[in-house]
Structure 1
Amino acid sequence: MTLSILGRLALAAAPLALAACAVGAPPPSVPAAVPAGWQAPLPHGASVADLAHWWQRMDDPLLVELIAAAQEVSPSMAQARSRLAQARASQVAARAALWPALDAQATARRGLDTQQGGLNTVAQGTLQASWEVDLFGGNAAQGEAAAQRLAGARAQWHEARVSVAAEVALATSEWRQCRQLQAVAQADAQSRGETARLARLSEQAGFTAPATAALAQASQAEGQARAVQQRLQCEVALKGLVALTGWDEPVLRERLSAQPAQEAPDALFAVGALPAQVLAQRPDLYSAEREVAAASAEVGSARAQRYPRLVLSGTVGAGWLSMGGQQQGANAWALGPATLSLPLFDGGRRAAQVDAAQARYDEAVALYRARVRQAVSEVEQALVRLQGAAERSADAARAAQGYHTAYLAAEARWRGGLASLMELEEVRRSALAAQTAVVNLRQERMAAWVALYRAAGGGWDADAPGPDAAPLPVAARATP
Structure 2
Amino acid sequence: MGADHESLTHPDASPRRHPRQRHEGRSLRVMAVAALAALVGCALNPPRADAPALAAPAQWQAPLPHDGSLTDLTRWWDQFNDPLLTQLIVAAQDASPTLAAAASRIAQARAGRTAAGAALLPALDANASAVRGRQDFATPLGTLASANAQASWELDLFGGRRAARDAAQARLDSAQAGWHEARVSLAADVATAYLGLRACEAQLLQTQADAASRGETARLTELSAKAGFQSPANEALSRASAAQARAQLSAQRAQCDIDVKALVALTAIAEPSLRAQLAANAATLPQPAQIGVSAVPAEVLSQRPDLYAAAREVVAASADVAGSQAQRLPRVSLAGSIGPAHFDAGGTSGNGTLWSLGPIAVSLPLFDGGARAANVDAARARYDEAAAVYRAKLRTALREVEEALVQLQSTASRNDDARTAAQGFNDSYRATEARFRGGLASLFELEDARRSAVQAQSALIELQRERVAAWIALYRALGGGWRAGTTTLSLQ
The worse-fitting range, judged by mean Cα deviation, of 318-327 and 196-205 is 318-327
| Residue 404 of structure 2: aligned partner | 382
Q: Do structure 1's residue 188 and structure 2's residue 203 form an aligned pair?
A: no
Percent same amino acid at aligned positions? 54
Q: Which residue of 2 aligns with 1:26?
A: 47
SS for the counterpart of 2:342 is strand
Q: CA deviation at 1:106?
A: 1.1
1:367 pairs with 2:361: no
**Please, which of 169, 177, 183 is the counterpart of residue 199 of structure 2?**
177
- Distance in 1 between residues matched to 2:63 and 2:77, nearest whole Å: 22
AA aligned opposite 1:165: A
SS in 1 for 2:58: coil
Aligned mates of 2:70, 2:282 — CA distance in 1: 28
1:165 matched to 2:165: no
Q: Are 2:446 and 1:421 equivalent residues in the alignment? A: no
Partner of 1:38: 60
Match of 1:310, SS state, is: strand
1:26 is displaced (CA, Å) by: 2.3
Q: Retained in 2: the 8 A contact 1:71–1:77?
A: yes
| Matched ranges for 1:272-291 at <5 A | 272-291=294-313
- Is the Cα contact below 8 Å between 1:102 and 1:129 reproduced in 2? yes
Query: Contact 2:124/2:151 (CA < 8 Å) preserved in 1?
Result: yes
Indicate which of 72, 86, 104 corresponds to 1:82.
104
Partner of 1:63: 85
Q: 2:327 aligns with which of 296, 300, 305?
A: 305
> For each residue in 1:182-215, what CA deviation from the matched residue of structure 2 results, as whole angstroms up to 9, or x when unmatched?
0100100000000000000001101111111010
Amino acid at match of 2:305: P
Aligned to 2:358, the other structure's residue is in SS state strand
Q: State the shift of 1:259 in Å.
A: 3.1
State the Cα distance separating 1:47 from its structure 2 match: 1.5
- Are residues 1:464 and 2:486 paired? yes
- Superposed CA offset, 1:22-55 (max 9, x none): 9322233334531101111111121211112212
1:22 and 1:136 in contact (8 A); partners too: no
Q: 2:317 aligns with which of 261, 285, 295?
A: 295
Residues 266 and 157 (structure 1), Cα distance of their counterparts in 2 relative to 1, 3 Å cut: closer
Alignment of 1:70-469 (within 5 A): 70-109=92-131, 122-260=144-282, 262-265=284-287, 267-321=289-343, 328-466=350-488
CA contact (8 A) 1:21 1:135 kept: no
CA displacement, residues 404-460 of structure 1 (integer Å, 9 cap, x when unaligned): 100011111111111111111111110000010011011101110111011111110
1:210 aligned partner, one-letter code: P
How far 1:332 moved relative to its partner? 1.3
Residue-by-residue CA offset, 1:114-167 (whole Å, 9 max, x unaligned): x9xx99754221221111111110000000000111111110000001001101
How far apart are 1:108 and its partner, in Å?
A: 2.8
- Note closer, same or farther for the CA distance 1:183–1:248 as it changes in structure 2 (3 Å cut): same
Q: What is the CA–CA distance in structure 2 between the aligned matches of 1:254 and 1:23, rounded to whole Å?
A: 66
Distance 1:261 1:323, change over 3 A: farther
Q: 1:288 to 1:266 in 2, by over 3 A?
A: closer
Note closer, same or farther for the CA distance 1:459–1:148 as it changes in structure 2 (3 Å cut): same
1:55-101 CA distances to partner (integer Å, 9 max, x unpaired)?
A: 21113211111101101111111111011111001101111110011
Query: Which is further off, 173-182 or 26-35?
Result: 26-35
- State the 1:322 CA deviation: 5.1
Q: Could you list the per-position Cα deviations for residues 343-380 of structure 1 after superposition, in whole angstroms to 9, with x for gaps in the alignment? A: 11111001000000000001111111111111111100
Structure 1 342/121 Cα, relative in aligned 2: closer, same or farther at 3 Å? closer
Q: Contact 1:21 / 1:137 at 8 angstroms: preserved in 2?
A: no
Q: Secondary structure at the match of 1:291?
A: helix
8 Å CA contact retained: 1:145, 1:294? yes
What is the alpha-carbon distance in structure 1 between the residues aligned to residue 347 and residue 269 of structure 2?
A: 77
Q: Which amino acid aligns with 1:46?
A: G
Cα distance in 2 for residues equivalent to 1:300 and 1:111? 51
Q: Which SS does the other structure have where 2:279 is aligned?
A: helix
Return the alpha-carbon distance in structure 2 between the equivalents of residues 281 and 84 of structure 1: 20
Q: How many aligned positions are there? A: 455
* Distance in 2 between residues matched to 1:23 and 1:82, nearest whole Å: 35
Q: Is the 8 A contact 2:415 2:463 kept in 1?
A: yes
CA distance 1:466–1:142, change in 2 (3 Å): farther
Shift in Å, 1:257: 0.5
1:263 is displaced (CA, Å) by 4.5
Contact 1:22 1:304 (8 Å CA) reproduced? no
Q: Distance in 2 between matches of 1:376 and 1:324?
A: 86
Which TM-score applies when normalising by structure 2?
0.87
Classify the secondary structure of the residue corresponding to 1:334: strand
d(CA) in 1 for partners of 2:296, 2:42: 37
Per-residue deviation at 1:327? 5.5
Q: Specify the code of the residue in structure 2 equivalent to 1:421.
A: L
In 2, distance between residues paired with 1:429 and 1:22? Answer: 79
Deviates more, 1:28-37 or 1:422-431: 28-37
Contact 2:285 2:465 in 1 (8 A): no
CA–CA distance in structure 1, aligned partners of residues 43 and 366 of structure 2: 20
Task: Name the CA distance, whole Å, in 1 between partners of 2:332 and 2:144.
Answer: 35
Unaligned 5+ segments in structure 1 are: 1-7, 472-480
Q: CA deviation at 1:298?
A: 0.6
For 1:63 and 1:44, the matched residues in 2 are separated by 24
Cα distance in 1 between the residues matched to 2:284 and 2:236: 41
User: What TM-score comes out, normalization by structure 1 length?
Assistant: 0.89
Asked if the contact 1:22–1:137 (Cα under 8 Å) also holds between the matched residues in 2, the reply is: no
